[in-house]
Structure 1
Amino acid sequence: MTTDVIVTHVDADELHARVEQLADLLVDTVDGGASIGFLAPLDRAEARAWWKERATGVAAGQLAVWAAHAGGRVLGTVTLAFPDKPNSRHRAELVKLMVHRDARGRGLGRRLLTTAEEAAATAGITLLHLDTETDSPAERLYDAAGWTRIGAIPDYAAAPDGVLRPTSIYFKKLIPAAPTR
C-alpha cells in the first residue's frame, strides 16, 4: 500500500465536493464486476445521482462514509449504515466497500474495513453485519479480517452482468472502545 493514500471521514459537504471522483469509483467498481447493487454498464449520471442521494443520509447521521484518496483521486470508500429503530442501535451494516481496480491488491480494502470497524467501536457499536457476493474476492477479505460467515442466500442479487448470484451473510462482534476523557 502506498503511504500517500489518506483515509478520511466524509461529511455531506465533502461528499458533494467529491461527487465526480466518487462517481468514477462507483462506475469503475461496477465495470470491474463487483456486485454492489448496480448493473453494468453503469451510467456516470446514475452514479453521480446515487452519491448525491447519500449526502442526505450522511447529514442525518444515518450513514458514515470514509474515502481513501491520493493524488486528487478517490481510490476507495466504505460506509456504515445505522438503523433507526431503538432496539437496534447497538449494530450497523457495513455497505459499499469499494476499491478502484488500479488500487487493488495493496491492502486498501483492509485499511478501509479496519477504519470502519474502529469508528463503529468508538461509536459504541458492538455488532456489524454485511452481505457480499458468494465466492467473490470480498469474501477472502472478510474471512481474513475475522468476520463470521453465517450462510448464503441463493439467487439473492444480480451481478453486474445480470446473472443471479448467491449472497453470503457475515457478522463481526466488536469490543466498544474505552471512553476518552
Structure 2
Amino acid sequence: MDDPILFNPKTHSHLIPSFADILTACITTPPYTTAGFLPPIDPARIRKWWEDRVREESEGHRKIIMQMARDPSTGEEELAGYVMLGMPVTETGPFRGSVEKLMVSPKYRQKGIAGRLMAKLEEVARAEGRTLLLLDTESGSPAELVYPKWGYIEVGKVPDYGISPLDGSLKPGTFFYKNLLSASKAA
C-alpha cells in the first residue's frame, strides 16, 4: 500500500462520491459513529457537504489527506480512508489545527490505515505551521481508545455532545489535544 497523499482538487475531485460513501458507511455500519449526519442518509446532502470541504481546501483553510488502496477482488485502486486538517483563520491561533473526520472504510479497517493517515496529517500540520492539534470524538467509541496511543492527551468529556446515529440518544464527546512541538522533543 502506498503512503497517504494530499487531496488535489484538480486531479481528485472525481473521488467526492467515494468520500461521501465512506462517511455514509461509517455512520451506518457498526461501530456507528457520530459524524455530523443522521440516518436516513441523504446522499445528495453528504455529497454537497464534501463539495464544500473541497472548496475550503482550495481556499487554503483545510488539507484533506487520503489513503488509496487496491481492492483485493477487482485490483482497482479506490479510496480506503481519509482525515482532514482544519486550519482556522485566526490572528491569535495561527498555529492551531483541528483533526476532522478520520474515517476508514469498513472494508479496510484493522489494516493500520488510521495510524498512517494520522502520521501524514501531523507531517502536513508541521509543514503548515500548525503545531497544536485539537480533536473530539464520541466517548466510548473505539477512536477514544486509540488517540492516546498516538500521543493525544485527553482534555475532558462534554455530556450530551452529539446525537447517536444508532438510536437518537445523546452521547458524550471526549476532547483531545497534541502539541507537535512537545511531541517532537519527546521523540
TM-score, scaled to structure 2: 0.87
Local SS of the residue matching 2:4? strand
Give me the CA root mean square deviation.
Answer: 1.6
1:148 paired residue among 148, 153, 159: 153
Q: Partner residue of 1:21?
A: 18
Q: Partners of 1:5 and 1:44 in 2: how far apart?
A: 29
**Percent of aligned pairs with the same amino acid:** 32
Letter in 1 for 2:153: T
> How many residues align structurally?
174
Q: Partner residue of 2:82?
A: 77
Q: Structure 1 residue 56 and structure 2 residue 62: aligned?
A: no
Question: How far has the Cα of 1:87 moved from its partner?
Answer: 0.6
Q: Partner residue of 2:98?
A: 93
Question: How far has the Cα of 1:165 moved from its partner?
Answer: 0.3
Q: Which runs of 5+ in 1 are unaligned?
A: none
Contact 2:163 2:169 in 1 (8 A): yes
Q: Structure 1 residue 113 and structure 2 residue 110: aligned?
A: no
Listed one character per residue, the Cα deviations across residues 44-98 of structure 1 (whole Å, up to 9, x for unaligned) are 2222111111111001110100111123221100001111111110110100000
Local SS of the residue matching 2:160? strand
TM-score, scaled to structure 1: 0.90
Q: Partner residue of 2:73?
A: none
Q: Partners of 1:169 and 1:36 in 2: how far apart?
A: 15
Q: Partner residue of 1:11?
A: 8
Local SS of the residue matching 1:36? coil
Question: How far has the Cα of 1:153 moved from its partner?
Answer: 0.2
Letter in 2 for 1:94: V
Q: Partner residue of 2:177?
A: 171
Question: How far has the Cα of 1:5 moved from its partner?
Answer: 4.6
Q: Partners of 2:118 and 2:164 in 1: how far apart?
A: 22
Question: How far has the Cα of 1:157 moved from its partner?
Answer: 0.8
Shift in alpha-carbon separation, 1:106–1:155, aligned structure 2, 3 A: same
Shift in alpha-carbon separation, 1:45–1:68, aligned structure 2, 3 A: same
Letter in 1 for 2:82: T
Q: Partners of 2:102 and 2:11 in 1: how far apart?
A: 18
Question: How far has the Cα of 1:14 moved from its partner?
Answer: 3.7
Q: Partners of 1:131 and 1:53 in 2: how far apart?
A: 21
Runs in 1 of length 4+ with deviation above 3 angstroms?
A: none
Q: Partner residue of 1:139?
A: 144
Letter in 1 for 2:55: T
